Chains A and B, each alone.
Chain A
Amino acid sequence: MKDYVKIIAIVWKDIISEIRSKEIGGSVLVFCLLVVVIFNFAFQSDEAAIGLVAPGILWVSFTFAGVLGLNHIFAAEKENSCLEGLMLCPVERHVIYWGKLIGSLIFMLVVEAIITPIFLALYNLPILLPGLALIIVLATLGFVSVGTLFSAMAANTRAREIMLPVLFLPIVIPVIIAAVKATGLILDGEPWGELWTWLQIIIAFDVIFLVISALVFEFVIEE
């Protein structure tokens, strides 16, 4: 069986189990929305200030929701001893990584696709922004690349819900910085020049950490 077939099998398994159990999708969505709303009260309702902090609010809410979603990737596997089952399959370890990565990427993108228009509407910002979609996809890819690795790690420790953010938030700080800056530029309608620098950072991060995470993943899930 080709590798990509195995990867699709893993992705499909995750999608089906999520659709059937509805364990995490709904609550992550609601949580994300709540964070967006609560941040509104954290800042004075000053029109000019909102423009400055809006990108930050969006990405903080994605980060928090992301941590919840990422925790789930391996927590459920661990609880039901499915991880051993996965490892018994005749697949190379990095195939599991790619499968889990794509599954959580799809999950995060669905959440973000729903939240972003609502967010833009709540803060009275222009809604149709293809550039924003590009940033969100690339930055989310960076998030889940290290997030999947650390989710597997945290699932095997005590206090796993808190270990994941502690482990992975410092690592994704460059992505958050770049994503917030780039989002701010897009919302202000800036030209592509400066935006490209930030996109380059996100893309570089994605490439570097996708490769590294895929390489070291096997060390994390081995028994």
Chain B
Amino acid sequence: MASSLLQDKRGMSLLALIWLGVLLASAANLLLPESSALYVGSNTITLLGKYLCYALLAVSLDLVWGYLGILSLGHAAFFALGGYVMGMYLMRQVGDRGVYGNAELPDFMVFLNWSELPWFWQGVGHFPVALLLILLVPGILAFVFGFLAFRSRVTGVYLSIMTQALTYALMLAFFRNEMGFGGNNGLTDFKDLLGVSLTAPGTRITLFVLSALALTLGYVACRLIVSSKLGRVAVAIRDAESRTRFIGYRVEWFKLALFVFSAMLAGIAGALYVPQVGIINPGEFSPLNSIELVIWVAVGGRATLYGAVLGALLVNYAKSVFTGVLPDEWLYALGALFVLVTLFLPRGVMGLLQRKEAEA
């Protein structure tokens, strides 16, 4: 087991770099005075934390796309579901500090004249229950969808379009006020997490470090999976599904297991994302988000895992810079990125590096 991690030199050095960055940024935020030139502001910490969550999401997608051949165009839906569970927990923590001061109901329910908490909100205010649901909700959705899809052998672009329809349907559903998830506005105005204020600098740093930790653990888990026998069967399914089936593997169960695991990882990423950003709304289900996520993985290089991490960080950093300087041009850059990467960098930035190495 450990040997497969040791062999993954690129991944480990990337993770080490990320940790170095995380520790430096945290130290600069906590120890340096605000006047210092090296001081890292809380907003930057939040932004970096966001990137780390995205990186974990990208790793979860690379697991199914890179190693299993399932191009999910709805992976952001699992991310958003995890986020919504976390958002619900945080809403329950608000208690009677909302605008309407209702101890039992979140503000938007008071606004809609609801008299009691709907059944699916019961218990989510307990942290262990919330943690469990963060894994279970995306997991169960992935299980049901995957079970139906893989069993009837929906593959390739059909599957991609179906996953896109899934996230689209969820987006429409969450936009409805009657669903009980805050409708258009989503869930926001969170106060604290486990009794600690979300706006306190210590909380931000903790969440930031936790995101890095989740990314590391998620990455290591995925690395262990892909270098195990399970991972090799997955690659066999990706490259020749029918042949793997004829050899005697129950293809749909392998697919289902990895798909559910990947959805849970995405859910965790979403759950870490929401307290840092402070809002979750139905826009997170938008098909565009899921496709953007695909391009992160493609830019980094699919089927490498570290490529996904790198791609997510690079593209999102570029997005932050671009939208700050030339807000209107970002979509041009993103569109061009899609075209150029598919045409000229089929294996991403990492593929470019590998080719350089092979030549040298």
A and B are interacting partners: no
Enumerate chain B interface residues (CB-CB to A < 8 A): none
Residues of A within 8 A of B (CB): none
